[in-house]
Amino acid sequence: MNVDKGYVEAPIEPGIDLVEEIKRLKREKNAVILGHYYQRDEIQAISDFVGDSLALAQYAAKTDADIIVSCGVNFMGETAKILSPDKKVLVPDLNAGCSLADSCDPVEFKKFIDANPGHVVISYANTTAEVKALTDVIVTSSNATRIVESFPKDQPIIFGPDRNLGNYINSLTGRNMKLWNGACMVHEKFSVAKLVGLKKQYPQAEVLAHPECKKNLLILADKIGSTKALLDYAIASPCKQFIVVTESGILYEMRRACPDKEFIPAPADDSTCACNECAYMRLNTLEKLYLCLKYEQPEIKISRELCERAVRPINRMLELSKK
Ligand code: 13P
Ligand code: SF4
């Protein structure tokens, strides 16, 4: 067995039922599997809990499992580790990064903060532990507007790393937050022309969009929100057709929760297929999940000192999200 490539490489016993084996290992080891809505269908199906970034963090903060297996991207595993430093936090593949987190180098971000004294620093959860440690309060797309609004109107704010989410919050709140120039390469790729075409093809459909999309797409949306907010909207809406402008993994839960409704994925600019997938999220597979539980590797490791600095802005978010 080796983990040199960032995931366990080992033979899998021929003929075993991976789903049953994962369930058995989970019970034996008192492990919990947390899955994001962008995970492959079969991973969502076997997860103990599926949620958006905020819900996954909230779950990780309160679980009494000995092992957390974070099926998402690395910042989600890191958040779980920061909140539960004494637990073992495993990920099926350490290569599951995030283009938004990568767009914010901690050394450069520190320079940006130093160049703007007197600013409160608000960072999106899609950041590394080092960036979180430089931050006053973390937000996710489900609580960002509320948390920004909790500061006085005249409080100068730095917001990073997603410029699209930052611009969207500025437009909603009338603030003028200073924005880090980062973006998600998946959400930036959605095509306005193809979305307009879909709207013509499905004139009754409502458009659901994630705030990581560019403004020219967001202005075409009926609902803008986190993955969970989009799902809840689709469940509650009387409409029967939805065009979904976010990573297409969410369609699994939307179709499961609303079998009588139709969900149409919006395509990317450059794609020849009909949807838009996050290549990082798709790195996790049932095979890697099985091997990760079996060998308890790869594990998220963060120094105790960094956990202590990074947990403060996350706890502040969790506190502000309760109210
Ligand atoms: P949510 O917080 O809406 O789950 O989004 C996470 C993410 O990575 C979106 O690209
Ligand atoms: Fe990161 Fe974008 Fe993938 Fe979300 S969809 S995990 S922001 S790269």
- From first to last of its 323 residues, the chain has per-residue pLDDT tens of 899 999 999 999 999 999 999 999 999 999 999 999 999 999 999 999 999 999 999 999 999 999 999 999 999 999 999 999 999 999 999 999 999 999 999 999 999 999 999 999 999 999 999 999 999 999 999 999 999 999 999 999 999 999 999 999 999 999 999 999 999 999 999 999 999 999 999 999 999 999 999 999 999 999 999 999 999 999 999 999 999 999 999 999 999 999 999 999 998 887 667 778 999 999 999 999 999 999 999 999 999 999 999 999 999 999 998 86
pLDDT one-digit tens code per residue, 204-222: 999 999 999 999 999 999 9
- Closest ligand to the CA of 281: 2
Kindly give, in sequence order, each residue whose CB lies less than 8 Å from that of residue 115, ignoring residues fewer than 6 positions away: none
CA 319 – ligand 2 centroid, Å:
25
Q: Is 248 in the pocket of ligand 1 (CB under 6 A)?
A: no
Q: 151 alpha carbon to ligand 1 midpoint, in Å?
A: 23
Ligand nearest to the CA of 51: 1
- Long-range contacts of 59-64, Cβ-Cβ distance < 8 Å, separation of 24 or more: 59/32, 59/34, 60/34, 60/84, 61/318, 63/32, 63/87
The three-state (H, E, C) secondary structure of 195-256, written as one string:
HHHHHHHCCCCEEEECCCCCHHHHCCCCEECCHHHHHHHHHHCCCCEEEEECCCCHHHHHHH
Looking at the whole model, is its pTM more than 0.75? yes
| Whole-number pLDDT of residue 271 | 63
Ligand 2 centre from 11 Cα, in Å? 30
